[in-house]
Amino acid sequence: MEEERCYPTMDLLRSEPMQLAQLIIPMESAYLTVSYLGELGLFQFIDLNAEKSPFQRTYAGQIKRCGEMARKLRFFREQMMKAGLSPSSRAGTSSNVDLDDLENKLGELEADLLEINANNEKLHRTYTELLEYKLVLQKAGEFFSSAQSSAAAHQREFEGQHNGEGSIDSPLLIEQEMTTDPTKQVRLGYISGLVARHKSMAFERILFRATRGNVFLKQAVVDDPVMDPISGEKVEKNVFVIFFSGERAKNKIIKICEAFGANRYPFADDLGKQFQMITEVSGKLSELKTTIDAGVLHRSNLLQTIGYEYEQWNFLVKKEKSIYHTLNMLSFDVTKKCLVAEGWCPVFASKQIQSTLQQATFDSNSQVGAIFQVLQTKESPPTYFRTNKFTSAFQEIVDAYGVAKYQEANPGVYTVITFPFLFAVMFGDWGHGICLLLATLYFIIREKKFSNQKLGDIVEMTFGGRYVILMMALFSIYTGLIYNEFFSVPFELFGKSAYECRDPSCRDATTAGLIKAHDTYPFGVDPKWHGSRSELPFLNSLKMKMSILLGVAQMNLGIIMSYFNAKFFDDKLNIWYQFVPQMIFLNSLFGYLSLLIIVKWCTGSQADLYHIMIYMFLSPTDDLGENQLFFGQKFFQLLLLFLALVAVPWMLFPKPFLLRKQHEERHQGRSYALLDSTDDPLDEDPHHGSHGHEEFEFSEVIVHQLIHTIEFVLGAVSNTASYLRLWALSLAHSELSSVFYDKVLLLAWGFNNVIVLIIGIVVFVFATVGVLLVMETLSAFLHALRLHWVEFQNKFYEGNGYKFYPFSFALVAEEEE
Amino acid sequence: MYGFEALTFNIHGGYLEAIVRGHRAGLLTAADYNNLCQCETLEDIKMHLSATEYGPYLQNEPSPLHTTTIVEKCTLKLVDEYKHMLCQATEPLSTFLEYITYGHMIDNVVLIVTGTLHERDVQELLEKCHPLGMFDSIATLAVAQNMRELYRLVLVDTPLAPYFSECITSEDLDDMNIEIMRNTLYKAYLEDFYRFCQKLGGATAEIMSDLLAFEADRRAVNITINSIGTELTRDDRRKLYSSFGLLYPYGHEELAVSEDVDQVRAVMEKYPPYQSIFSKLSYGESQMLDKAFYEEEVKRLCLAFEQQFHYGVFFAYMRLREQEIRNLMWISECVAQNQKSRVHDSVVFIF
């Protein structure tokens, strides 16, 4: 405790101290205790019944009941969706609904709803059948009337011919009928009905085959989709009439109709009867319609009442289920009268948990109180950072790489500033920055509204990172001001430019250059650089050097963090044989480069830094000549080179040997307990089992160390080079935006034509939003992410912990199925 | 181009192979079966399955569950997966996938025809059909009176049409005829599938010919055992054997003349791959043969996943899933009928 006071209170740097606690809860108050702990949301239960399958656990029955209720609720939801109702998001407050009552109520409601549905369905089925019947009557009536009129024409020629409907066989019948007696003629039967349109071809084909062509089928298209009585879906259908002869054919046709789901309806020959039927059917239809309407109204009323309380019930059921699920994780005491829970909780929450336990004991009128006791353990506790809505998004960025080891230094603290800053270095344009700022402010202002509703995937992500984007926008406005770019246009915001033309006409501005007439431009890049021939070389040199400075600074920060880690975990080896040589190595090479850059900026020297750095290795003893920046540089370089060369074996060799020595000491006599690690609870453990007998493979350790050393030495070079992406992306961004400005907007302006100008502006806006604001943001974001994950975090961050996931109703409510 | 599939296979087949391997990873594990076998009620089974890939398909089932519902929903999952794969597939994989379903189609045709023969309701029969073997005009099968009609009316439009050419007779349908028809169709189907796989070449041909040969041999043994003591003549019996596989042709000659189970056994023990199957059975026993064959099949199907860049995995996956559904059905039935001691009798573990 004392030690902690040495550090400033920086909550995010170290994860919360955790403890493994055991709760012994009397059976009668178990439910209430778990429920209260769920409200509190600071206790992570450990599954003590991992070997038992879900249905063998104590509360499996209750979980099944909850599952059943959840199913009923899903059914209601589905029904509400079908009826076009949405459950009102009115957060119900009367939470004292008993689970049994709710179960009964849900059961009743489901039975009601099912009955209403069944009734409605029956009615609906008759209704759609009647509708179909009506259609058949109308369409088939048309066939017959048209057939009759054509038959009338035939009749003039052939007396006594049968109705002209059999036009296929009529040519064949003609002769026969001329000779035979009309009374002996075979009477043709017919069947009428409806068949789904996509099946009609196959239907016709099968009919033809089954009857060997002795059938005549006439179809008419029904324009609107018809509700199918059986499936209740809208289907496009055809009305058909089949004419056939003979009983066998009839049976076959009926079977085929059934097989194709074609509904048959009786049809009268006689015109008068037809009219009578149509009126009859219409009358029945209107009667049914009113009944159905009443039924639907009744149903939607019922659904509405369900809708009022749906959300509340849903939450309640989820909550209950989670409580029983948690109770299933507890194991029985030997006496079978108590339940034993084990779990992790933050140390600060002990008081709260204890008072919660007391409250639960009191409320459940239990005789015995629950017992809270802290257990000693060797297991690594979960990592828990208390973040707020601002820091959580940044912590997410770190967690996406790996959750911090318990109490390890958390890069999230620095990420809050360095991440948006590195982003902004690549995205420096205060015009674009303002656009981003406005977009994210929209999200932040409407935060309350958005956080309650479900958003799309991409919007959700943007909304989650709104504070990251806010910081990114603010920083890119800042760097934009430094780069002096506003949609690639420079402004003289902070005073007059330092440079002027040699003469008023400015003829030789691009050939001979400008002269310095005023004081240096006070903030950022002088606007006159923009558009000049030396703009690129100047900005490149500036941004490149700046990238290296930023990179070396951030990598140094990373190594210093490793020092804090080593100090915190009391690992002297890591301080002396990792942190110190690493610092020396990095700074004697790239720290020196940074020094040179700063000296060169301050003195305005013409020295060639490439040359200095390269010949520092190739021929360190040569004279620097005109590249000398300060007195004694050569000896200084020799010293640095020597230090760098010494640092490599320093990193490589001592640590494995010392580890071996430590290991041997620990084994040869337990009495030689390491003095400096006595406050480590692990070493005080008398059993010491797994730790002490751990295999110590020296070759493995040395290979491991070798890999680490090589990685660091090579990494120092490649990581520094990697920071040059800051320059590259920044260059790409400014070039792209100046292309869009010059080649689109100014070009369109030059035409002096309103339409061209409008087109130009539209293209410019879309290019700016699409390419610069969306794509470039993404790419700069990714590169900033990489710089943090790889170049910064690999210096110190292990990230092999696991997250604290407390049992909390707030989290349960958030879960969507 | 045997050995060079790695170059080109992934252009069309890579996505689906990944999908099918993902599905394969979702098959129930030993621990799952262990837990399922301990279930007391169907509710327990549902609860356990809700933690597996079957979860979403079972979660909305109201409480008094039936074995049929469980099997139906599990099959629905398989069908959904199959349809998804078929939608994504290009030639020749799509044809290959379609071939997998022809077996179910034959079974469905036989089911409906037998059902109508015994005057069952068509709708009821349709519900019993395997959803993978459905085709448009399947309900019309009920109309047919004899095989010629069956072919001419309905099957001419289906992919089964070519297989029918061998068994068209004008005889009226009866149980015996139908069974012979099923086996003739199956024989033609297997031979056709075998030819198709040979045409595909490469690892597909190699692996599929092995799997199909096993299938053909198993059918040959089953036909022999089932036809012992019936009026089927030796020549007719021989005609039902597929013309490939390990037993072809000499084994078939011997099987055709076998008169009892022990003779079949004697024939089969000459073939080393089948020795192990028959050595598990005691003499005169044919009850456990099915299970032994299933176990051997599952083993071979699992091996198909060991090699990459071939279509055999699709076949293997479908078969494994079907086996899994059979297992679930058996377990559920045992649980529902309180016969838990017999749970292990027919469950074939897939690992």
CB within 8 A of A739, min separation 6: which ones? none
Q: How far is Cα B191 from Cα B216, in angstroms, rounded to an integer?
A: 9
**A716 near A586, Cβ under 8 Å?**
yes
Q: Which DSSP symbol is given to A255?
A: H
The answer to whether the CB atoms of B140 and A256 lie below 8 A apart is yes
Task: Give the domains, in start order, of chain B with CATH numbers.
Answer: 89-200 (1.20.1690)
Give one DSSP letter per residue of B114-154, joined into a string.
Answer: HHHHTT--HHHHHHHS-GGG--TTGGGGGG--BHHHHHHHT
**What's the farthest any 2 CA atoms get from each other in chain B?**
56
The answer to whether the CB atoms of A209 and B40 lie below 8 A apart is no
* Chain B residue with minimum CA distance to A212: B153
* Chain A residue with minimum CA distance to B142: A255
**A373 near A354, Cβ under 8 Å?**
no
B128 min Cα distance to partner chain A (Å):
15
Helix (H, G, I), strand (E, B) or coil at A500: strand
- Provide the pLDDT for residue B140: 77
The answer to whether the CB atoms of B47 and A60 lie below 8 A apart is yes
A222 min Cα distance to partner chain B (Å):
22
Residue A371 β-bridge partners: A24
Give A260's contacts in chain B (Cβ within 8 Å): 137, 139-140
Spatial CA neighbour of A410 closest among A240, A195, A568, A578: A568
Q: Residue B88, Cβ neighbours under 10 Å: how many?
A: 14
**A505 near A431, Cβ under 8 Å?**
no
CB within 8 A of B238, min separation 6: which ones? B252, B253, B256
**B41 near A58, Cβ under 8 Å?**
no
Residue B129 backbone dihedrals phi, psi, to 5 degrees: -65, 150
B143 min Cα distance to partner chain A (Å):
6
Q: Which helix (H) or strand (E) holds B110?
A: helix B93-117
* Chain B residue with minimum CA distance to A207: B153
Output the six-digit token pair for A450. Answer: 């958005």
Q: Which helix (H) or strand (E) holds A26?
A: strand A18-26
Helix (H, G, I), strand (E, B) or coil at A499: strand
Mutate to test the interface with B, among A47, A52, A53, A74 (most CBs of B within 10 A): A53
* Chain B residue with minimum CA distance to A259: B139
The answer to whether the CB atoms of B48 and A53 lie below 8 A apart is yes
The answer to whether the CB atoms of A56 and B154 lie below 8 A apart is no
**A771 near A736, Cβ under 8 Å?**
yes
Output the six-digit token pair for A487. Answer: 């949609």
pLDDT digits (tens, 9 = 90+) for B27-80: 988 888 888 888 888 888 888 888 888 888 888 887 788 888 899 999 999 999
- Provide the pLDDT for residue A159: 52
The answer to whether the CB atoms of A259 and B152 lie below 8 A apart is no
Give B152's contacts in chain A (Cβ within 8 Å): 209
Residue A383 β-bridge partners: A803
Q: How many residues does chain B have?
A: 351
B145 min Cα distance to partner chain A (Å):
10
**A241 near A140, Cβ under 8 Å?**
yes
Among B35, B136, B142, beta carbon nearest to A255: B142
A291 residue type, one letter: T
Among B59, B122, B140, beta carbon nearest to A206: B140
**B310 near B204, Cβ under 8 Å?**
yes
Q: Which helix (H) or strand (E) holds A333?
A: none
Averaged over B229-257, what is the pLDDT?
85
Spatial CA neighbour of B240 closest among B263, B259, B256: B256
The answer to whether the CB atoms of B137 and A259 lie below 8 A apart is yes
The answer to whether the CB atoms of B47 and A56 lie below 8 A apart is no
pLDDT along chain A (817 residues), means of 10: 45 85 86 88 86 78 84 85 72 62 84 86 84 80 74 61 46 46 60 82 81 80 77 79 81 80 76 81 86 86 84 84 87 81 89 88 83 86 88 91 90 92 94 94 89 80 90 95 90 84 75 80 87 87 94 95 91 90 94 93 88 88 82 90 93 90 76 48 43 70 92 93 95 92 88 89 92 92 94 90 88 69
Mutate to test the interface with A, among B140, B146, B156 (most CBs of A within 10 A): B140
Q: How far is Cα A591 from Cα A609, in angstroms, rounded to an integer?
A: 13
B60 min Cα distance to partner chain A (Å):
6
- Provide the pLDDT for residue A727: 95
A30 min Cα distance to partner chain B (Å):
24
Q: What is the pTM of this model?
A: 0.72
Q: What is the 3-state secondary structure (H, E, C) of A583-633?
A: HHHHHHHHHHHHHHHHHHHHHCCCCCHHHHHHHHHHCCCCCCHHHCCCCCH
Range list of H helices, A653-753: 654-668, 681-684, 689-692, 698-722, 725-740, 747-750
Give A54's contacts in chain B (Cβ within 8 Å): 35, 47-48, 51
A107 min Cα distance to partner chain B (Å):
11
Q: How far is Cα A552 from Cα A588, in angstroms, rounded to an integer?
A: 11
The answer to whether the CB atoms of B59 and A74 lie below 8 A apart is yes
Give B51's contacts in chain A (Cβ within 8 Å): 54
Task: Give the distance from CA A786 to its chain's centroid.
Answer: 19
B57 min Cα distance to partner chain A (Å):
12
B149 min Cα distance to partner chain A (Å):
8
Q: How far is Cα A773 from Cα A432, in angstroms, rounded to an integer?
A: 7
* Chain A residue with minimum CA distance to B154: A206
Spatial CA neighbour of A780 closest among A479, A523, A559, A447: A479
CB within 8 A of B94, min separation 6: which ones? B86
The answer to whether the CB atoms of B143 and A53 lie below 8 A apart is no
pLDDT digits (tens, 9 = 90+) for A232-260: 677 788 888 888 887 777 888 888 887 77
The complex's ipTM? 0.72
Give A205's contacts in chain B (Cβ within 8 Å): 157
Q: How far is Cα A109 from Cα A112, in angstroms, rounded to an integer?
A: 5
Averaged over B82-105, what is the pLDDT?
92
E strand map for A101-227: 189-196, 215-221, 226-227
Give B44's contacts in chain A (Cβ within 8 Å): 55, 60
The answer to whether the CB atoms of A55 and B39 lie below 8 A apart is yes
CB within 8 A of A678, min separation 6: which ones? A684
pLDDT digits (tens, 9 = 90+) for A327-346: 888 888 777 788 888 899 99
Torsional class of A266: left (φ above 0), alpha (ψ -120 to 50), beta (otherwise): beta
Mutate to test the interface with A, among B65, B129, B137, B149 (most CBs of A within 10 A): B137
Interface A-B: count of C-beta contacts within 8 A: 64
The answer to whether the CB atoms of B47 and A55 lie below 8 A apart is yes
Give A249's contacts in chain B (Cβ within 8 Å): none
**B52 near B32, Cβ under 8 Å?**
yes
Output the six-digit token pair for A243. Answer: 């004419």
Helix (H, G, I), strand (E, B) or coil at A346: strand
Among B35, B44, B60, beta carbon nearest to A74: B60
The answer to whether the CB atoms of B136 and A199 lie below 8 A apart is yes
A72 min Cα distance to partner chain B (Å):
8
B63 min Cα distance to partner chain A (Å):
7
Q: How far is Cα A720 from Cα A551, in angstroms, rounded to an integer?
A: 6
Q: How far is Cα B91 from Cα B12, in angstroms, rounded to an integer?
A: 9
Give B47's contacts in chain A (Cβ within 8 Å): 54-55, 60, 63-64, 67
User: Exposed, middle or buried, B131 (CB in 10 Å: 0-12/13-18/19+)?
Assistant: middle
- Provide the pLDDT for residue B323: 92
A243 min Cα distance to partner chain B (Å):
18
User: Exposed, middle or buried, B233 (CB in 10 Å: 0-12/13-18/19+)?
Assistant: exposed
Among A60, A68, A261, beta carbon nearest to B63: A68
Spatial CA neighbour of B305 closest among B324, B319, B293: B319
Give A55's contacts in chain B (Cβ within 8 Å): 35, 39-40, 43-44, 47-48
Residue B283 — pLDDT band, cuts 50, 70, 90? low
A319 residue type, one letter: K
Spatial CA neighbour of A686 closest among A695, A673, A699: A673
C-alpha angle A354/A356/A361, rounded to 5°?
A: 95
The answer to whether the CB atoms of A55 and B142 lie below 8 A apart is no
Mutate to test the interface with A, among B33, B143, B150, B156 (most CBs of A within 10 A): B143
